Amino acid sequence: MAEVDHPQFSEYRQSVKEYYNRMNRLILDNIGYSYQAATLIHYKEDPYRETNEFVAKKMGIKSGSCLLDAGCGTCGPAIDIVNFTETTRISAVTLSLEQAKIGHRLVQEKGLSDHIQVYVCDFHELPFPDNTFDGIYFLESSGYSYSLERLYSEVYRVLRPGGFVYDKGVFKHNRELTEIEAEALAIFDRIYVFKTQTMEHHVSALMQQRFRVEFANDMSHVFNQSLITKAKIQHDENGQPIIADGKPLRTEFGKYHVNRLGRHVPVYFGDIKAVKSPVV
């Protein structure tokens, strides 16, 4: 039986669509095809590709797996993961038609249309049969869930027995927040149209759906936000910040994502992996 959709869910979905339809060009111009705040602190050449390969290793993707990229953006991570694993097939879903168009075009340009299919849909209501996927991953996208319980119930439905769900995300500290932290988080959520939850809430919601949680880690020692911070500031041809009136000039992306209390936002980067129990 389908769940009744509440008006606030529809309103929130629309807000997320509008954010990404509006921001997509700025994201591509200032960051690229992998819109992630958390990238590897230590990398050799390409931090975004190497971050995507790092999480692919943590997922433990097997040869020939059928995966769901839940919140795919413009398919940068999906492309990197397919190239890294070679035989993976990915269904990539996003709420944003603008992202889907760019993602579809990029997949075609990379010659990966046989490996990656792009869909416009809400990941709480997936257009796939039961037991479709070997693995499902969220790369900083589960924070757009308006109901983690509803989300992980749907994930459980489309995941095959023994399949995994992996979530690399931004999590709220699990403690009482100070007044300034609460205000900073509210601004953060408003700017990014996010619904930041604690890792403990995610784990609880997964366990309610009978997932077995393999790990839930604070990854602050592995990831940082230096690249997205850099993307908010204009730089000269030598890579130095452009200063005017004693302050760095912001990019258009940076102007939109100003949080006057940014250093007080009570969040950290982490990841979770859980498994759907195999049928006995």
Q: Does residue 251 belong to any structural domain of this protein?
A: no
pTM > 0.85: yes
Contacts of 252 (CB under 8 A, 6+ apart): 26, 29, 30
Encode burial over 207-236: b for 16+ CB neighbours within 10 A, e otherwise. Answer: eebebeeeebeebeebbbeebbeebbbeee
Output the CA–CA distances (angstroms, integers) from residue 249 to 35, 205, 244, in the order listed: 21, 42, 6
Q: Does residue 248 belong to any structural domain of this protein?
A: no
Q: How many helices (H) and strands (E) does the chain have?
A: 9, 11
Q: Give the CATH number for residue 201.
A: 3.40.50.150
Both tokens assigned to 173 = 């500290």
Tokens 């509440």 found at: 6
Segment 16-37 shows an average pLDDT of 97
Q: Give the orientation angle of helix 97-109 with respect to helix 76-85, to 10 degrees.
A: 30
Q: Does residue 71 belong to any structural domain of this protein?
A: yes
**Chain segment 30-89, per-residue pLDDT in tens:** 999 999 999 999 999 999 999 999 999 999 999 899 999 999 999 999 999 999 998 889
pLDDT of residue 4: 40
pLDDT band (50, 70, 90) for residue 5: low
Segment 137-152 shows an average pLDDT of 98
Q: Does residue 101 belong to any structural domain of this protein?
A: yes
pLDDT band (50, 70, 90) for residue 250: very high
Q: Give residue 63's domain range.
A: 7-225+268-276
Domains contained in the chain, number: 1
